Structure 1
Amino acid sequence: MQVLLDTLAPADAPRVADPRALTDEDLLALYAPPQQTWLRVNMVSTVDGSATGDSGLSGSINNPADGRVFATLRRLADVVVVGAGTAKAEGYSPTDTPIVLVSRKAQVPESLRGAPAGSVLMATCSLSDGIGEARELLGEEHVLTYGSHRVDLPALKAGLAERGWGHILCEGGPHLLRDLVFQGAADELTATTVPRLVAGSYPRITVGAPLDAHLTLRLLLEDEGTLLGRWFV
């Protein structure tokens, strides 16, 4: 894995010893959040824009290079935010890092029910039909309400930072990425492009009503044709 572009490091102070052979510690430095409160979304897609392969899951298109960056982002994160539908589809299980599910319906995936208290939280809206069940499953103090009819994502971001979880990693899915950008809560898109074409009618990394958001490329890595970028929103 090598650095192709790095506009985050001072011109006279490279952050890595060998930009053509990055170590895991180099990746931690290259992906460090630039400020105390920072929300980034990590997504993977093919060259022709698909967010999944034939399994309908991101695991059908990701590769070892993407896996290295994924592990780096998990190490840097104080908390992982993920749409409840994505957590269900991808079979999420409890980790050492707290997981915050985002769901307007407040639905807790089966794989996360019975998790240790406080390891899984739910972010939902006050008028959600499923809020009562979520409180029974996770504990009332672990169900967070932001907004009435939809989840107020900037308020969620601020609430997590107030808990000391300023380095926020969102792992999708496409609807949540779109909404985070639309509501102005996303600071960064960490996007992997794998060197594959899959055609078909698979989803893109964003789904939902149209938006037009300008991104600035700040870091670009390459590994055997896989491109890994940090795009600031």
Structure 2
Amino acid sequence: MRVLVGPDTDDLAELYAPLRSPWLRVNMVSTVDGAATGASGTSGSINNAVDKQVFDHLRATCDVIVVGAATARAEGYGPADRPIVVVSRQEEVPDGLRDAPDGSVVVRPLGDPVAFRAWLHDQGWATVLCEGGPTLLGHLVAAGVVDELCTTFVPRVVGGDHGRISTGAPVDAPLTLHTLLEQDGTLLARWLL
């Protein structure tokens, strides 16, 4: 385990390097009291500058972004510099992604998570970044296809009835702490599954 204070942008490449290829990581943010969203109902209302710094780095270094349709709608997803796979039961493209360039957004159901992961790698996407949401994270962890869970704990308590970073059927997946960073009270961790 590595514990560092105040990651420098130049350090992020080393700190967040995948341990092998292929690699599927999930990136989630929550408050200290476990809320995955804030007052607006989005994670954007609880994240902060250091979380955004790591979020941007993970996006810039992945081959593809995977996101659940409900999260893409709630968070107002738009086109990105990487292809986006939207996991949707109805196979419907969220509004913000409808005008994306051809081929930059793929919509498909999750189905069997093991087959889904194999399909991602068959497309040539070795480094996969999943940005949630909680239901998708629950399915992927339960199926044992996640290599790494990146978490940010922002130093806030919001109370209320906010969801957690993982929902769905009960699962008990042990984690191993790989890296722990702290900046201004924000804790950023890499957990291996």
Whether these two folds match at TM > 0.5 is yes
The whole-number CA distance in structure 2 between the counterparts of 1:220 and 1:89 is 29
1:10-44 deviations in Å (ceiling 9; x for gaps): xxxxxxxxx54532121111101111111011000
SS at match of 2:30: strand
CA contact (8 A) 1:41 1:170 kept: yes
2:148 match: 188
CA contact (8 A) 1:123 1:156 kept: no
Structure 1 residue 101 displacement after superposition = 0.4
Residues 20 and 47 of structure 1, relative CA distance in 2, 3 Å threshold: closer
1:230 match: 190
2:77 match: 92
Question: Which of 110, 115, 130 matches 2:95?
Answer: 110
Which amino acid letter does the alignment assign opposite residue 108 of structure 2?
A: A
2:2 match: 6
1:149-193 deviations in Å (ceiling 9; x for gaps): x61222121111122211000000000000000111111110000
2:37 match: 52
SS at match of 1:55: coil
1:131 match: none
CA contact (8 A) 1:189 1:231 kept: yes
1:70 match: 55
Which amino acid letter does the alignment assign opposite residue 33 of structure 1?
A: P
Task: State, as a whole percentage, how many aligned pairs show the same letter.
Answer: 56
1:41 match: 26
The whole-number CA distance in structure 2 between the counterparts of 1:66 and 1:96 is 19
What is the TM-score normalised by the length of structure 1?
Answer: 0.80
Aligned alpha-carbon RMSD (Å): 1.3
The whole-number CA distance in structure 1 between the counterparts of 2:60 and 2:6 is 20
1:205 match: 165
Question: Equivalences for 1:23-34 in 2 at 5 Å?
Answer: 23-34=8-19
CA contact (8 A) 1:103 1:151 kept: no
The whole-number CA distance in structure 2 between the counterparts of 1:198 and 1:22 is 26
Question: Equivalences for 1:144-155 in 2 at 5 Å?
Answer: 151-155=111-115
CA contact (8 A) 2:36 2:43 kept: yes
What is the TM-score normalised by the length of structure 2?
Answer: 0.96
The whole-number CA distance in structure 1 between the counterparts of 2:5 and 2:159 is 32
SS at match of 2:191: strand
Structure 2 residues without counterparts, runs of 5 or longer: none
SS at match of 1:48: coil
Between 1 and 2, higher relative CO (CA 8 Å, sep ≥ 6) is seen in 2
CA contact (8 A) 2:151 2:190 kept: yes
1:171-217 deviations in Å (ceiling 9; x for gaps): 00000000000111111110000011011010000111111111110
CA contact (8 A) 2:181 2:189 kept: yes
SS at match of 1:217: strand
CA contact (8 A) 2:5 2:182 kept: no
The whole-number CA distance in structure 1 between the counterparts of 2:139 and 2:183 is 30
CA contact (8 A) 2:86 2:105 kept: yes
Q: Does 1:166 align with 2:151?
A: no
SS at match of 1:218: strand
The whole-number CA distance in structure 1 between the counterparts of 2:5 and 2:2 is 13
